[in-house]
């Protein structure tokens, strides 16, 4: 049986008129998003280098999304009116059947694919700047609590509360974690937001460019007083203070003096080679359980959690090279523990992030060396 083909549908003059109207509205919406001071209306200053890149990506998505919405919704309304059921139609009448239009199918596939590729390229470029760059500068740790934030600085004992101070123009590596439940660290002026998960350290990188005082907001429901972890709601909660180098140095020195007799200082990673001669395997085993077991198993290389299994890493001849390409030797393992590594499996935190002293590294290497 041969299927009967419907006669070609003529869209008519009305279709092209409304298409022209939609095109004008789409262009107007694009111009609006690119010319209107939207972020000024929202009172969103640009506090870090990559915030402007995030704004550019958001503007692109708002502009293209608005234009697409105008056409999609507009054509739905137009076709609902132009091809509506009429009183003169018979009761068993059916709508126009359109299929096997290869040109239409080709274009509605190619255009979205090209758009997604462009959007992916722009997104990954910005993601790389935030997650990988810059590498140098100061390292700070932020810890989420119910219901406040605390910060740890190199060579400052204990935890700093009240405000997180940053020097303008200096790259920052900010390590995020939680002491209790899942929190989410967000600074609107920075356009950065990341979850804070107990037992897991996540990292964001940025360079402050604007002097000022900016609120920190928790965007993950974390308990009954979650709403108070918002400096815009409770002004006594933490703020990010970006200031000139002299002001930062004065504040930093003040906290060093204030917390001089407090324990639990943030370890500063050394830059020289670690002496492994005094490593204690038993101590390293306990340290591995608290610092490493969330990402690594004491099992074969194929037993991947986040990173590979580490049993026999220093003794198995069939074991591949380390993630940085170097042979699996005690010194090379110590180098990764000291400096960290970012690769295809993710990010291996450095000694500062993991709070490892040189003795801790020696103990961990001794423990891994004992796994045969």
Q: Is the peptide bond before 134 cis (omega within 30 degrees of 0)?
A: yes
Distance CA 173, CA 131 (A): 9
Distance CA 322, CA 252 (A): 38
Q: Could you tell me if 191 and 219 are in contact, meaning their C-beta atoms sit under 8 angstroms apart?
A: no
Q: Which residue has the higher pLDDT, 168 or 14?
A: 168
SS3 of 370, please?
Answer: helix
Q: What is the pLDDT of residues 311-338, one digit of tens each?
A: 888 887 777 788 788 888 888 888 888 8
At 1, the pLDDT band (50, 70, 90 cuts) reads very low
Q: Could you tell me if 201 and 354 are in contact, meaning their C-beta atoms sit under 8 angstroms apart?
A: yes
Phi, psi of 101 (to 5 degrees): -95, 95
Residue found by looking up tokens 């080679």 in the block: 273
As a CATH number, domain 138-258 is: 2.60.40.420
Q: Could you tell me if 40 and 2 are in contact, meaning their C-beta atoms sit under 8 angstroms apart?
A: no
Distance CA 13, CA 291 (A): 70
Distance CA 277, CA 255 (A): 36
Distance CA 359, CA 365 (A): 10
- pTM for this entry: 0.60
Cα 233 to chain centroid distance, Å, stands at 25
Query: Which residues does 109 contact at the CB level (< 8 Å), separation at least 6?
Result: none
Is a pLDDT exceeding 90 seen at residue 66?
yes
Nearest to 238 by CA among 177, 186, 278: 186
Please tell us whether the domain made up of 281-370 is placed in CATH 1.10.760.10: yes
Q: What is the pLDDT of residues 216-256, one digit of tens each?
A: 999 989 888 888 888 877 777 788 999 999 999 999 998 88
Domain definitions of the chain by residue range: 12-82+99-131, 138-258, 281-370
Nearest to 294 by CA among 200, 179, 363, 195: 200
Quick one: three-class SS letters along 66-96? HHHHHHHHHHHHHHHHHCCCCCCCCCCCCCC
């Amino acid at each position: 049986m041969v299927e009967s083909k419907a006669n070609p549908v003529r869209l008519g003059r009305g279709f092209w008129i409304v298409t022209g109207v939609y095109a004008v509205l789409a262009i107007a919406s694009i111009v609006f998003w690119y010319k209107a001071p939207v972020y000024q209306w929202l009172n969103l200053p640009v506090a870090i280098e990559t915030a402007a890149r995030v704004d550019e990506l958001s503007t692109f998505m708002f502009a293209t999304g608005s234009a697409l919405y105008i056409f999609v919704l507009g054509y739905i309304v137009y076709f609902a009116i132009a091809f509506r059921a009429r009183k003169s139609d018979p009761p068993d009448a059916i709508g126009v059947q359109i299929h096997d239009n290869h040109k239409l199918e080709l274009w509605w596939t190619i255009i979205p694919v090209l758009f997604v590729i462009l959007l992916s390229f722009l997104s990954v470029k910005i993601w790389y700047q935030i997650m990988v760059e810059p590498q140098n500068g100061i390292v700070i740790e932020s810890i989420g609590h119910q219901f406040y934030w605390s910060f740890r600085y190199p060579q400052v004992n204990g935890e700093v509360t009240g405000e997180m101070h940053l020097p303008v123009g200096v790259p920052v590596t900010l390590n995020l974690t939680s002491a209790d439940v899942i929190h989410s660290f967000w600074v609107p002026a920075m356009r950065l937001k990341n979850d804070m998960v107990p037992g897991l350290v996540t990292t964001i990188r940025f360079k402050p460019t604007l002097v000022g005082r900016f609120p920190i907001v928790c965007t993950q429901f974390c308990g009954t007083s979650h709403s108070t972890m918002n400096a815009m709601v409770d002004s006594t909660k933490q703020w990010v203070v970006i200031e000139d180098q002299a002001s930062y140095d004065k504040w930093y020195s003040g906290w060093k003096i204030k917390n001089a007799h407090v324990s639990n200082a943030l370890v500063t990673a050394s830059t020289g080679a670690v002496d492994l001669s005094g490593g204690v395997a038993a101590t390293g085993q306990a340290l591995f359980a608290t610092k490493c077991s969330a990402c690594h198993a004491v099992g074969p290389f194929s037993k991947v959690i986040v990173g590979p299994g580490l049993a026999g890493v220093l003794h198995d001849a069939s074991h591949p090279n380390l993630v940085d390409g170097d042979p699996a030797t005690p010194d090379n393992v110590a180098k990764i523990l000291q400096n960290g590594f970012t690769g295809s499996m993710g990010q291996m935190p450095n000694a500062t992030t993991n709070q490892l002293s040189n003795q801790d590294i020696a103990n961990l290497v001794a423990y891994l060396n004992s796994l045969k």
